[in-house]
Chains A and B, each alone.
Chain A
Amino acid sequence: MSLQVLMTPDCQVICVGEDGQFYARSLNSEGPLEGLVGLVQQGVHWYLRSVSQPVRWYDPVSKKMVSLLPAQGVAFDVRGVKLNLLRANGHYLSVDWSGHIRFDAKEPLAAAVLRFMALDELMLLREMLAKRWVCGPSGEHVRIEIEKSTVEELFIGDIKVSFEQFIEAARQSQHHGDLLLNEEWKIWRFTDYNPLIVIESFGASSLEELPIALESLESLGQYHGEVMVTSNQPEGKVRACFPPNHDSKVIRVVSVEDEDRFAALRTRARLMADPDMLADYTPLLFVEAGVVFDQNIESFLGRCALARCVSAKGYFHHPEFSTEPQERDVIAGLKAGQLSGLMVVPHVTLHRPYLEKAFDLLSLCIKEYGENVIPCEAQSILNYGLRQVGDFSPSLVETLLHHECDEELNPFHANGLSGFAADDKRHERMERYYKNVKELWGAGM
């Protein structure tokens, strides 16, 4: 058996302080677990030792950490699969209410049963604890409740699963992205939730729209996660659009030099192609700067993380093959803007092969047919490509959209995200709408 770390009944790990005393440390604590103690077999005996270098050993006789292998080791009484009571020098290990750990109990205590865990299992558990989760199919946000859990059972939201099952499911989730847990015959699907909203701010006029989009995202969208702004404008000017008191860690700027009308999509393709840039985010929401977030968006993002396909507005175009006549009419009737660039990617790593093909198709179309035959909304070609490769569904984003037709948007119909047709008065209409929705909220809507 490899080195085993020890988990206390209240799901903390045993560490040793500089004073040589054992103490329990929470798994939720940030940073490396310094002073972590593990159990290791040397010959026929078991010993407690520090995990990190330089190795120090627990001597049950002197009750101190020593640098040489002690003459006497520790022993354990089996209480279940990987559940044991530890004893040394005739005394059982006990954990008191203040977190102090000593070998002082004369009788075995049920409340001092420890879980033995391999180091890689502990690392995996910490990785899972650091994540936020959404539960399918409704997209409810949950977390692993380590404070409520015991050495036998773990709580994720209100769901209780055995520790062994959780570790096995966590291992599997690294292959397919989902954490699948069983509670008798019931099945629960959880997906890692770490959203990123990418706002594409291209062209000088977008700098008038960006402040409204960012402010609405925070105030009405009630979103406090990470945001990335991609722009071809000077970075200083982009940063000047950020809301006052913003968290600089939360909003990032990616500047590009591209000037043509495909710049936003080209930047998106470059972001996707980078294996590390977006890999940790689930889901990704791409929007242009001409939008107002008019309702809490977290629940929608939760459903995005659970989606099986890339989602965007359901319109498709290919200069040659395309599409049904009615689809061509939709393209012809589109006004620039109006959430046309909206795209949801549930998990970049899982969808990258399909997205790359779709972006390749866009490049090919620009090269083969020239820019003039590409419709004002080049996203339609991406959608066509994604549909061709079987990785497209419009249904998800359609639950969110509220976009301008001929009249101004009605704040009573706020649905999550509102888009405005692109013209030089767009920012004024956005501001008016944003104020109207805010007033409604203030009126207790």
Chain B
Amino acid sequence: MTSALLTYDLRVLCMEHGKLIARALDTLADLTHVVSLQWYNGGWNLVTHTPERWWYDINAGCFDRCVPEARIEVEGDLFDAGICRLTGLDGYFHAQLSGAITPFGAMAHRRECRFRLLDGDDVRALWHVMKERWVLGDHQRLAQACSGESTIWEIHFGRLVVEFKDFLIAARERQRLSQQALLVMAERSIHRAVPYKPVVFYSLTQAEQLAELALSLRSLVECGRYQGNVCIASAMPAQRVEAFIPAELKGRYRLVRLSMGGERDKAMPLLASLVSGMFDDYAPVVCLKSSVLVTRPIDKTLRRFAQGGSSLGAPVEHVFEGDDVPQANKHGAFLGAALPEGHKIRYGFTMSVVVLPSTRQQKIFLEEALRSAVSYLGKPRHPAYAEYEAGIFHYVAAVLGAFDPALLTQRDCNLNDPAMPGQVDGTFLCCEEWLDSHRTALMRSHLESLPRTVS
């Protein structure tokens, strides 16, 4: 039996520079140096799982390649509660705040001398959960398991206090089912938490979009107070694109090269990037056209997007009485797509903002949409293929039941009204103008009128 050991404050015992040390789980890049308690040759020892096995020698106080003579004594019911105390020659092992583990005689009653034994798979499940930030419950509060208050008896997870065993069950189930969400039983109810690591993605196909990108990124930083990562895919040289990225985003952006000669990138650069797997660690993924401005702090909106589950969102407009429905629905009608009742889509506007709570969860949708797009848009009879990407997107989402009109509502997304710059309600303002120069001027005028919030 091999098991890892957690200290009372949820640090895991590791080997570091030959010494035994406790490290917070969320700070570990991998679990290579985590040590296990192992029964060997009639006694308990601490040992690493590195290719060269290192054994902890309690006499020397460091790890050695040889199996030591002196053994560790384990007190407690390992197989039930999993809480134990470890003793060596000089008394009970004791976890100090610095991370050092030292034997000390008179400390037996203190919590610093308690350890929890965990199976290797459980440690891995817990490590994955602790590394991530989460959005919890109906109020979209941020939560993290390693809050400094958590212990091996109870986990402080946002506003929840969860019994350790319940939290471990949730982490284990998540790992087993390869699901995104963490379902925690706590305080006499169930709570759903989803990972939160947002990314905003732009795909640029023309050099003219660079000026718009600069304005859009400025709005993201200044008005949106965005703290997450940005990814920009383009066919242009990286240095040229970098010149348009605000300094505030330094270290938080990533440039991806689009190959406009390739069938997939050319047909649908947005979908080709999403399906590539490069966003699988992010949630949510928000794809913006370079002509979109962010008008207000964006964090709460992103947290709501992260909770979208397996559906995805793109702006649709509610159909009001008297609207020209057949005209408005022509993308859908053209491709045979059935939009949710009472909704319509509009050229340009529709793909300005696309929200995917998680590309990993929507893998099937993305692959099918890309396959359909390549098959349809690759035909020479459609030279203006970009005009149809919205139709394909909605069509595939409707067939697969993946589209949720409530995820991105009218409150999130506005089409600009050139007559009234600054009069916007939505978090995203889509500046649609046919002429590039007009569009950039319009964006600039909107951006200047948008309020900046003090951080």
Q: Which residues of A are interface residues toward B (Cβ below 8 A)?
A: 136-137, 176, 178, 180, 182, 184-189, 306-308, 318, 320-321, 353-354, 357-358, 360-361, 364-365, 368, 385, 388-390
Shortest C-beta distance, A402 to chain B (Å), equals 21
Decide yes or no: A390 and B368 within 8 Å by CB, A357-B183, A360-B185, A361-B185 being known contacts.
no
B contact residues, total (Cβ < 8 Å): 32
B177 and A361: CB pair below 8 A?
A: no
CA–CA, A10 and B364, complex, Å: 33
The stretch of B208-216, B391-399, B444-452 in contact with A is: B391-399
Flag whether B181 is at the interface (Cβ < 8 A): yes
Count of CB-CB pairs between chains A and B under 8 Å: 78
CA–CA, A361 and B371, complex, Å: 42
A180 and B364: CB pair below 8 A?
A: yes
Decide yes or no: A390 and B185 within 8 Å by CB, A137-B338, A185-B372 being known contacts.
no
The stretch of B60-68, B81-89, B189-197, B198-206 in contact with A is: B189-197
Partner of A353, one of B173, B307, B395: B173
Closest residue of chain A to B181 (Cβ to Cβ) is A390
Q: Return chain A residues, CB-CB under 8 Å to B179.
A: 353
Q: Return chain A residues, CB-CB under 8 Å to B395.
A: 187
Decide yes or no: A184 and B375 within 8 Å by CB, A361-B190, A388-B189 being known contacts.
yes
Decide yes or no: A365 and B191 within 8 Å by CB, A176-B364, A389-B181 being known contacts.
no
A182 and B401: CB pair below 8 A?
A: no
Flag whether B309 is at the interface (Cβ < 8 A): yes
Flag whether B336 is at the interface (Cβ < 8 A): yes
Given A308-B310, A360-B190, 14 other A-B residues pairs in contact with their CB atoms under 8 A: A180-B364, A185-B373, A185-B392, A186-B336, A187-B371, A188-B399, A306-B401, A357-B183, A357-B190, A358-B190, A361-B189, A364-B185, A389-B181, A389-B183
A385 and B190: CB pair below 8 A?
A: yes
Q: Which residues of B are interface residues toward A (Cβ below 8 A)?
A: 173, 177, 179, 181, 183, 185, 188-192, 307, 309-311, 335-336, 338, 364, 368, 371-373, 375-376, 392, 395-396, 398-401
CA–CA, A189 and B395, complex, Å: 12
A189 and B183: CB pair below 8 A?
A: no
Partner of B188, one of A182, A307, A364: A364
* Sample of 28 A–B contacts (CB below 8 Å): A136-B399, A137-B338, A137-B401, A178-B364, A178-B400, A180-B368, A182-B368, A182-B371, A182-B372, A185-B335, A185-B372, A186-B336, A186-B372, A187-B371, A187-B395, A307-B401, A308-B310, A321-B189, A353-B183, A357-B183, A360-B190, A361-B185, A361-B189, A364-B188, A388-B190, A388-B191, A389-B183, A389-B190
Shortest C-beta distance, B357 to chain A (Å), equals 10
B376 and A184: CB pair below 8 A?
A: yes
Q: Return chain A residues, CB-CB under 8 Å to B396.
A: 187
Q: Return chain B residues, CB-CB under 8 Å to A358.
A: 190
Closest residue of chain B to A358 (Cβ to Cβ) is B190
Shortest C-beta distance, A344 to chain B (Å), equals 15
CA–CA, A354 and B192, complex, Å: 10
CA–CA, A354 and B364, complex, Å: 21
A137 and B398: CB pair below 8 A?
A: yes
Q: Return chain A residues, CB-CB under 8 Å to B372.
A: 182, 185-187
Q: Return chain B residues, CB-CB under 8 Å to A353.
A: 173, 177, 179, 183
B188 and A137: CB pair below 8 A?
A: no
A187 and B192: CB pair below 8 A?
A: no
CA–CA, A117 and B192, complex, Å: 46
Q: Return chain B residues, CB-CB under 8 Å to A318.
A: 189
Closest residue of chain B to A306 (Cβ to Cβ) is B401
Partner of A390, one of B173, B309, B336, B401: B309
A189 and B375: CB pair below 8 A?
A: no
CA–CA, A208 and B137, complex, Å: 44
